[in-house]
Amino acid sequence: MNWGILLPPALLGLSLSLPVRASRDRPGDGQPDLEPIPENIDPHMYPLIVAMNAIGLCKTRASCEGHWESVFYVSQPYVAFHSDIQFAERLDAKVSSITALPWYVEAYFGFDRKLCYRLAINMEALNLFQRLLLLFRKNFDGDIQNIVKLVQALASDISQ
């Protein structure tokens, strides 16, 4: 008899928690800055990359829209960028209030020792169901549209 069908995973010693990469194992850390050319950018991230580079306050470094990597693992969507602290701080302060998913901004030094910022979804805050929805872009595209508007609004506010 297959007890896995009848018993909950916890009783079988199984965990439904999902793997999360260590904080230093971030995509984009060691990559050179990439030009925002459509062939280099995941399609769902393209509008945000174009908007961030167009405002003149930041330059994108690398990005990923998130990809299905295994049965229980979706890679973290992110945009790595260079900017001054004022822009990154304002983006971080407002992004979570205008998005359905838990976006945040963190600062770090890349492997090339350049100070960078990373706009990303907090994958640790998502359960399995939310990660599956992310895979199917539920809420993701709307979040990107809202973040594009926020980036443009921040550029207008900072330039005044």
15 lies in a domain?
Answer: no
Q: Report pTM.
A: 0.76
Per-residue pLDDT band for 111 (boundaries 50, 70, 90) equals confident
143 lies in a domain?
Answer: yes
46 lies in a domain?
Answer: yes
12 lies in a domain?
Answer: no
115 lies in a domain?
Answer: yes
9 lies in a domain?
Answer: no
CATH of the domain at 127: 3.30.1960.10
Per-residue pLDDT band for 1 (boundaries 50, 70, 90) equals very low
Number of domains in the chain: 1
Higher pLDDT, 28 or 58: 58
Which structural domain, as residue segments, surrounds residue 96? 24-151
Higher pLDDT, 14 or 115: 115
* CB burial readout 108-118, b (16+ within 10 A) else e: eebeeeeebbb
